[in-house]
C-alpha cells in the first residue's frame, strides 16, 4: 500500500477542492493569489509547443466580407470561393458585415461580463456539472475530472439553446435578454454559413441544413481572468471543436491561436468581426475536404478576456442519426476516411477525454 504524505501532489484532491469553492478562477484572482496553483501548470511538453518553429507574424487567417452575399450571383460566387479556400486551407476565417448589429455584440459581451462579475453567492446558485438536465451550466473547466493534463485559466457558463430553448426563468437576469437576442442572430448567420459551405462543396445550398447541421446550438460564454503567471498555464488547452461549425465573438484582448501548418498563428482581434471555424463533424462529413483545426487560448496578464463561442452541434439532445462522410463526396477514388458514428457516441468520448491535446476525430478514422 502506498501511503501519501502531505507534501505529495494529489491532483484529484486539489482539483476537487478548487471545484468545491464554486468560485472558479475568478475566485482565486479576487483572493489576490500571486502564484498560479499547481493544478493549472501545463506540462513541459505543451510549454515548449508555445514556441513555434516558424515566425507567425506574417500569417493571417482569411477575412471575408459578407456584404455582397445577397447582391447578385457573381458576388455570391466570389464569397463562396473565399469560404472554400478558408475552409479547406485554414478551417478558420473572420467575417465582417455578417449582419449581426454591433449593439447586439456589445450587449452579449456586457451580459457575459455581468454574470461572471456578479456577487459570488448569486453565481453559486447556478454552479453545476449537470449538463444532462440543466440548460444553464456555470462552472470552471467542463473537463476538470477528465484526463486533461492541467486545469485551464478560465470560467465558463453554457446555455443550451436549440433544439429545445430554455424558458426565460432558466437563465439569470444578468444575461437573459442578451443571450436570447444574440442567439437569434447567430442562428440566422448559421443558416447563411451552411448555405455558403454547401455551395463551397459544389452541392445544393440546402444540403448541410438538411443533414441537421443547424439543429443544436450551445452558447459557451468564457471569462478569462487576468493571470499573474501567464507562462505557466493556458486559457484553453489545444483542442478542435465538438461541433459542425462554431461562431466565436472575442473581445480586444487576444490570445486565441490556431495550429496552422505546425505553427501557432494568432487570431488577431478585429473589432466587430466574428470568427468562424469548421468543427470536427464538418470535417468528418466532408471526408476531410474541410478541416477542423486545433486551437488554444493563451493566458494573459491583461483582462478579463471575454469570448462567446456558439457551437452548432446537437450533442445535448443527441439522437440516433448516424453521421459519416457524405455520399455526395465519396467515390471509388476517394473512399470514406471515417466510420459512421452518432453524435452521442462522439460527444461522450469527447467529454470523457477532456481537452488533453489530442484530436478525438482520429479515433474514428478508418
Ligand atoms: O475563447 C476563445 O477565443 C476560444 C474558445 C474555444 O476555443 C472554445 O470554446 O472551444
Ligand atoms: Fe474551440
Residue 319 in this model has a pLDDT that exceeds 80: no
Predicted pLDDT of residue 53: 45
Average pLDDT, the chain: 92
Determine the distance separating the centroid of ligand 1 and the alpha carbon of 7, expressed in angstroms.
35
> Worst-scoring range by mean pLDDT, 5-19, 20-34, 158-172?
5-19
- From 94, 274, 307, give the residue whose CB has the most ligand 1 atoms within 8 Å, as the site to mutate: 307
Proportion of the chain above pLDDT 70, given as a percent: 92
Who has greater pLDDT, 3 or 304?
304
Give the Cβ contact number of residue 224 at 10 Å: 29
Residue 8 in this model has a pLDDT that exceeds 80: no
Residue 263 in this model has a pLDDT that exceeds 50: yes
Predicted pLDDT of residue 55: 46
Confidence of residue 68 (pLDDT cuts 50, 70, 90): very high
Determine the distance separating the centroid of ligand 2 and the alpha carbon of 201, expressed in angstroms.
23
**Any idea which fold 44-364 has?**
Jelly Rolls (2.60.120)
Who has greater pLDDT, 113 or 360?
113
ipTM value of the model?
A: 0.99
User: Atom 3 in ligand 1: which residue has the minimum CA distance?
Assistant: 256
Instruction: Tell me the per-residue pLDDT of 140-157, one tens digit each, with 9 for 90 and over.
Output: 999 999 888 999 999 999
Q: What is the mean pLDDT of residues 158-174?
A: 96
Who has greater pLDDT, 116 or 148?
116
Give the Cβ contact number of residue 31 at 10 Å: 9
Cβ < 6 A, ligand 1 pocket = 220, 222, 236, 241, 248, 250, 256, 295, 297, 307, 309
**Alpha helices in the chain, H assignment, sequence order:** 11-21, 24-30, 44-48, 73-89, 102-116, 120-124, 176-200, 207-210, 280-285, 343-353
Predicted pLDDT of residue 353: 85
Contact in structure between 214 and 312 (CB atoms under 8 Å): yes
Residue 54 in this model has a pLDDT that exceeds 60: no
The backbone torsions φ and ψ at residue 362, rounded to the nearest 5 degrees and listed phi first, read -60, -25
**Cβ contacts of 2 within 8 Å, gap of 6 or more:** none
> Worst-scoring range by mean pLDDT, 55-69, 179-193, 241-255?
55-69
Determine the distance separating the centroid of ligand 2 and the alpha carbon of 128, expressed in angstroms.
21
The backbone torsions φ and ψ at residue 105, rounded to the nearest 5 degrees and listed phi first, read -65, -40
Determine the distance separating the centroid of ligand 1 and the alpha carbon of 221, expressed in angstroms.
9
User: Atom 1 in ligand 1: which residue has the minimum CA distance?
Assistant: 307
Confidence of residue 3 (pLDDT cuts 50, 70, 90): low
Residue 331 in this model has a pLDDT that exceeds 80: yes
Q: What is the mean pLDDT of residues 331-350?
A: 90
The minimum-distance atom of ligand 1 relative to the CA of 255 is 3
Q: What is the mean pLDDT of residues 204-222?
A: 96
Determine the distance separating the centroid of ligand 2 and the alpha carbon of 358, expressed in angstroms.
13
Who has greater pLDDT, 63 or 147?
63
Q: pTM for the complete prediction? A: 0.94
Annotated domain spans of the chain: 44-364
Contact in structure between 223 and 112 (CB atoms under 8 Å): yes
Q: What is the mean pLDDT of residues 22-39?
A: 97
Q: What is the mean pLDDT of residues 330-357?
A: 89
Predicted pLDDT of residue 320: 76
Residue 109 in this model has a pLDDT that exceeds 50: yes
Residue 4 in this model has a pLDDT that exceeds 90: no
Instruction: Tell me the per-residue pLDDT of 92-108, one tens digit each, with 9 for 90 and over.
Output: 999 999 999 999 999 99
- Report in angstroms the alpha-carbon separations of 123 from 57, 107, 242: 40, 19, 26
- From 186, 248, 254, give the residue whose CB has the most ligand 1 atoms within 8 Å, as the site to mutate: 248
Q: What is the mean pLDDT of residues 314-331?
A: 84
Predicted pLDDT of residue 347: 84
User: Atom 5 in ligand 1: which residue has the minimum CA distance?
Assistant: 309
Determine the distance separating the centroid of ligand 2 and the alpha carbon of 37, expressed in angstroms.
24
Question: Strands 92-96 and 63-65, how do they pair?
Answer: parallel
Instruction: Tell me the per-residue pLDDT of 183-202, one tens digit each, with 9 for 90 and over.
Output: 999 999 999 999 999 999 99
Contact in structure between 132 and 351 (CB atoms under 8 Å): no
User: Atom 8 in ligand 1: which residue has the minimum CA distance?
Assistant: 309
C-alpha cell at 224: 478569462
Amino acid at each position: 500500500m502506498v501511503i501519501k504524505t502531505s507534501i505529495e501532489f494529489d491532483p484529484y484532491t486539489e482539483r476537487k477542492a478548487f471545484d468545491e469553492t464554486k468560485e472558479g478562477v475568478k475566485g482565486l484572482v479576487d483572493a489576490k493569489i500571486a502564484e498560479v496553483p499547481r493544478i493549472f501548470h501545463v506540462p513541459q511538453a505543451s510549454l515548449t509547443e508555445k514556441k513555434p518553429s516558424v515566425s507567425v507574424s506574417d500569417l493571417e487567417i482569411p477575412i471575408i466580407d459578407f456584404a455582397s452575399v445577397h447582391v447578385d450571383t457573381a458576388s455570391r460566387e466570389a464569397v463562396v470561393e473565399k469560404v472554400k479556400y478558408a475552409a479547406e486551407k485554414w478551417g478558420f476565417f473572420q467575417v465582417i458585415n455578417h449582419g449581426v448589429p454591433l449593439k447586439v455584440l456589445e450587449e452579449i459581451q456586457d451580459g457575459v461580463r455581468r454574470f461572471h462579475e456578479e456577487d459570488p453567492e448569486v453565481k453559486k446558485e447556478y454552479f453545476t456539472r449537470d449538463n444532462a438536465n440543466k440548460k444553464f451550466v456555470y462552472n470552471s473547466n467542463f473537463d476538470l475530472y477528465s484526463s486533461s493534463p492541467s486545469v485551464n485559466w478560465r470560467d465558463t457558463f453554457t446555455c443550451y439553446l436549440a433544439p429545445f430553448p430554455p424558458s426565460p426563468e432558466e437563465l439569470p437576469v444578468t444575461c437573459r435578454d442578451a443571450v436570447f437576442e444574440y442567439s437569434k442572430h447567430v442562428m440566422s448567420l448559421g443558416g447563411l454559413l451552411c448555405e455558403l459551405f454547401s455551395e463551397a462543396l459544389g452541392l445544393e445550398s440546402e444540403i448541410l441544413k438538411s443533414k441537421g447541421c443547424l439543429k443544436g446550438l450551445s452558447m459557451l460564454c468564457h471569462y478569462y481572468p487576468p493571470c499573474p503567471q501567464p507562462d505557466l498555464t493556458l486559457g484553453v488547452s489545444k483542442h478542435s471543436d465538438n461541433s459542425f461549425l462554431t461562431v466565436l465573438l472575442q473581445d480586444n484582448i487576444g490570445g486565441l491561436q490556431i495550429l496552422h501548418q505546425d505553427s501557432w498563428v494568432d487570431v488577431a482581434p478585429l473589432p466587430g468581426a466574428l470568427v468562424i471555424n469548421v468543427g470536427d463533424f464538418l470535417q468528418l462529413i466532408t471526408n476531410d475536404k474541410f478541416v477542423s483545426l486545433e486551437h488554444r487560448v493563451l493566458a494573459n496578464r491583461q483582462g478579463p478576456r471575454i469570448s462567446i463561442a456558439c457551437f452548432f452541434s446537437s450533442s445535448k439532445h443527441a439522437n440516433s442519426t448516424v453521421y459519416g462522410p457524405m455520399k455526395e463526396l465519396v467515390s471509388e477514388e476517394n473512399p470514406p476516411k471515417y466510420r459512421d458514428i452518432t453524435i452521442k457516441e462522439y460527444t461522450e468520448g469527447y467529454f470523457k477525454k477532456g481537452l488533453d491535446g489530442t484530436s478525438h476525430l482520429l479515433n474514428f478514422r478508418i
